[in-house]
Amino acid sequence: MSQKSSRRSFLAAGLVLPAAASASRSTQQSAPAAPPRPGQTSKPSGGPAFQYRTLGKTGLRVTSLGFGCMITSDGSVVERAADLGITYFDTARSYMGGNNERMVGAALKRKRKDVVLSTKTEGNSKQEALAQLDKSLQELATDYVDIWYLHGKTTIGAVTDDLVEALQAAKKAGKTRFAGVSTHGGQQDLMPWLAKNPNIDVILTSYNFTMPPFMDSVIAEAGKAGKGIVAMKVMAGGTRRGRAGDPGIEKLRREGALTSALKWVLRNPSLGTTVPSMTDMDQLDANLMQMSIPFGAADEKILAVHLREITPFYCRMCGECAGQCRQGLPVEDVLRFVTYADGYGQFSLGRERYLQLHPSHVSARCENCPGCTVQCPYGVQVAAQMARAQALFAC
């Protein structure tokens, strides 16, 4: 079966669920807490029922619910998460215009030795990347990070020898314990290559219920090879704040579509941890509470509806439409920036990233196009979403 037809089958069949976590060789579940009563909004008594997993051959033990700090500006949420027992925290040099690391460092100061801390570099050369790492350590107020990632690589060619040398040099200098690569797309080719690369210890990949079945295979393969796997974009675009007033999204939000999406991801036994974004105490509590409630038929039903709701505008960042735009626009990137605004409620981040594009891409307008040449096999309304990005972000 071709990859395209396999993807269409996936869509036609609705959700494809990963193998149950009971097959895990690296998981150990804590004693389950009592399920919450209907309508209960705080975490169950006795505290969160964390699951602990091992991040591949690194041997790092982490809670399966980690914390993606990218859009968190309130350090007290990060601090409380660490106090409640979350042990994995992820940031990057570029988040929040360079200010996110400072907030994370301050929030985790008391707990630094008890948590696994990762950051990332977008440096394009060994020298630039290592200079960014020094800046990261300064901002995080720590001598080392546990994992240092090359940020946002989508092709094998982007993981250059020069950058791999930077990872090795950082390990040798004791500035990072482990080396990683993060990827938003291109996993079909990139992840098998990373799985075989002895210089890479951990892979941070986008992964959620909207993605095609090959993602389960490449994640399982990398896990078997001993790589630690961390999942991001687990809630498929968030929709926590974005598109307020959209009745479909509002309803799904109330019904718990986001936590169902999180639990769907956590069923995959090859994953070490996840890094959902959490910006306030309510989101932290909602995620913590779900740790004691297994994924069930109700979640499956909610996600099937959610998939239909988000299909016209949620880009899975599969990269399949690369090169199709007649004006050469980087569709996958632009649609990710729309997700920052609409899904995560982070308009500034989306606009900041958009304005970093090539000036000819920033000034391009889909309304001047005689017809969209981009075909999305997942049903994303590309021209409409691109026009939305231009209306939202362009000067």
Closest distance between ligand SF4 and the C-beta of residue 1, in Å? Answer: 18
Radius of gyration (C-alpha) of the chain in whole angstroms: 20
CA atoms of 175 and 301, how far apart (whole Å): 45
- Count of residues touching ligand SF4 (by CB under 6 A): 27
Query: Mapping DSSP to helix (H, G, I), strand (E, B) and coil, where does residue 180 land?
Result: strand
215 binds ligand SF4 (CB under 6 A): no
Residue 380 found at the interface with ligand SF4 (CB under 6 A): yes
Closest by CA position to 65, among listed 342, 350, 332, 276: 276
Candidates 327, 348, 360, 363; binder of ligand SF4 (CB under 6 A) is: 327
318 interacts with ligand SF4 by CB under 6 A: yes
Nearer Cβ to ligand SF4 (60/321): 321
CA distance 118 to 176: 9
* Binding map of ligand SF4 across residues 267-306, x = CB under 6 A, - = no contact: ----------------------------------------
Contact 190, 153 (CB under 8 A): yes
Residue 309 lies near ligand SF4 (rule: CB under 6 A) = no
Q: Is 366 in the site for ligand SF4 (CB under 6 A)?
A: yes
Binding residue for ligand SF4 (CB under 6 A) from 317, 338, 349, 357? 317
Distance (Å, whole) CA 221 – CA 1: 20
Q: Per the residue annotation, which of 88, 95, 149, 354 is the catalytic one?
A: 95
Q: Which residue in 152, 156, 158, 217 sits closest to 190, CA to CA?
A: 156
* Helical pair 214-224 and 187-196, crossing angle rounded to 10 deg: 10
Contact 219, 206 (CB under 8 A): no
Q: Would you count residue 325 as binding ligand SF4 (CB under 6 A)?
A: yes
Q: Which of 230, 338, 357, 376 binds ligand SF4 (CB under 6 A)?
A: 376
Angle between helical axes of 382-393 and 347-355 (0-180°, round to 10) = 90
Paired with 145 in beta bridges are: 176
293: tokens are 């409630």
Which residue, 43 or 316, has its beta carbon nearer to ligand SF4?
316
Q: Any contact of residue 308 with ligand SF4 (CB under 6 A)? A: no
Which residues in 130-149 contact ligand SF4 (CB under 6 A)? none
CA pair distance 386, 395, nearest whole angstrom: 15
Q: Compute the least distance from the CB of residue 364 to ligand SF4, in Å.
A: 6
| Contact (CB, 8 A) for 175 and 206 | no
- 316 near ligand SF4, rule: CB under 6 A: yes
Under the criterion CB under 6 A, does residue 236 sit at the interface with ligand SF4? no
Among residues 36 and 377, whose Cβ is nearest to ligand SF4? 377
Q: Is 358 in the site for ligand SF4 (CB under 6 A)?
A: no
Cβ proximity to ligand SF4, 288 vs 318, nearer residue: 318
Q: d(Cα 393, Cα 395) in Å, to the nearest integer?
A: 7
Sign of CA dihedral 111, 227, 319, 253: negative
Shortest Å, Cβ 385 to ligand SF4? 8
314 is catalytic: no
- Residues known to be catalytic: 95
**Residues making contact with ligand SF4 (CB under 6 A):** 315-321, 325-327, 329, 331-332, 335, 364, 366, 369, 372-374, 376-378, 380, 382-383, 386
